[in-house]
């Protein structure tokens, strides 16, 4: 009878010696930088808020600020600079690690190279950032004038109301994300700094892969596959490679930030970001 009672208590209580998650040891605070568009505001706090809180529960000084969702790289980078300097002041840290998704990676490169923060950034990890542009941006600019005008007005209205004092310039931002703009202008002018460690991942899903893709991204995935090959619905593998390339992740562009409409998916955005911080910690950052 006593044995049965003890087993029942242990099963109901479920106590273990150390129930809290393991501490992730990292030298510098971590700032998560979001990408372009409304995805940043589909979750309370912003689309990387959950990932930042997951890291905080593991002892990491992690932050996921928000900037304007529909603005140019330069304007977003200026906003990021304010956020980064505030975080450096709050934490008293000498440097920070940046982990950036999508357009956030371009913002981060500009911030380091042109924003003068090369001496305060230890590492930059980009995830599906369109370093060589996205043909989807070109496709948007190929649409009839009325369609472009509607997209411009709608996105700017959302961008201007999503955050106070944020502003928006959808059309100029889209122009900057084209392959021509990135390869013939941005990449020639915004050079990597030798004191910053650059690394990158690409997302791969849908056509040309064994990984299913968000139905909302499927049309874009097909269009991009015809022009750039394997992609995650918004950014191709070839465009996402920068610095020390770490490989492909089996997740579409939305899954990478925790928006998952595929019930069979095993990808965990929070664990992926935690793994990146673990890697940086092992490398001494």
Domain ranges of the chain: 20-282
* Residue in this structure with the two tokens 């955050």, named with its chain if needed: 163
* Over residues 237-260, mean pLDDT: 95
* Residue 234 scores a pLDDT above 70: yes
What is the pLDDT at residue 40? 47
76, 68 Cβ separation under 8 angstroms: yes
* Over residues 206-235, mean pLDDT: 95
* Residue in this structure with the two tokens 């001496």, named with its chain if needed: 119
Phi, psi at residue 175, to the nearest 5°? -60, -40
Q: Which residues pair with 38 in a beta bridge?
A: none
Q: What is the pLDDT of residues 189-212, one digit of tens each?
A: 999 999 999 999 999 999 999 998
The pTM score is 0.91
52, 63 Cβ separation under 8 angstroms: yes
Domain 20-282 carries which CATH code?
3.40.50.1820
């Amino acid at each position: 009878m006593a044995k049965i009672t003890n087993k029942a208590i242990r099963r109901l209580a479920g106590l273990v010696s150390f129930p809290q998650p393991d501490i992730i040891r990292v030298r510098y605070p971590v700032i998560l930088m979001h990408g372009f568009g409304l995805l940043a505001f589909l979750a309370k706090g912003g689309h990387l808020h959950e990932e930042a809180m997951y890291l905080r529960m593991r002892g990491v000084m992690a932050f996921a600020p928000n900037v304007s969702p529909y603005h140019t790289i330069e304007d977003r980078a200026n906003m990021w600079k304010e956020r980064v300097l505030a975080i450096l002041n709050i934490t008293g840290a000498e440097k920070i690690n940046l982990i950036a998704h999508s357009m956030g990676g371009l913002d981060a490169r500009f911030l380091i190279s042109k924003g003068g923060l090369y001496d305060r950034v230890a590492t930059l990890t980009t995830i599906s950032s369109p370093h060589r542009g996205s043909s989807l941006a070109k496709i948007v600019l190929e649409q009839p004038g009325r369609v472009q005008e509607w997209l411009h007005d709608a996105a700017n209205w959302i961008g201007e109301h999503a955050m106070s004092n944020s502003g928006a310039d959808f059309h100029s931002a889209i122009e900057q994300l084209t392959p021509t703009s990135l390869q013939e202008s941005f990449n020639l002018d915004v050079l990597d700094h030798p004191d910053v460690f650059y690394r990158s991942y690409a997302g791969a899903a849908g056509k040309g892969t064994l990984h299913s893709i968000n139905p909302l991204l499927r049309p874009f995935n097909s269009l991009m596959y015809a022009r750039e090959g394997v992609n995650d619905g918004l950014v191709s593998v070839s465009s996402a490679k920068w610095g020390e390339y770490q490989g492909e992740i089996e997740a579409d562009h939305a899954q990478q930030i925790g928006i998952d409409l595929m019930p069979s998916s095993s990808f965990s955005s929070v664990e992926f970001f935690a793994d990146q911080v673990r890697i940086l910690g092992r490398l001494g950052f």
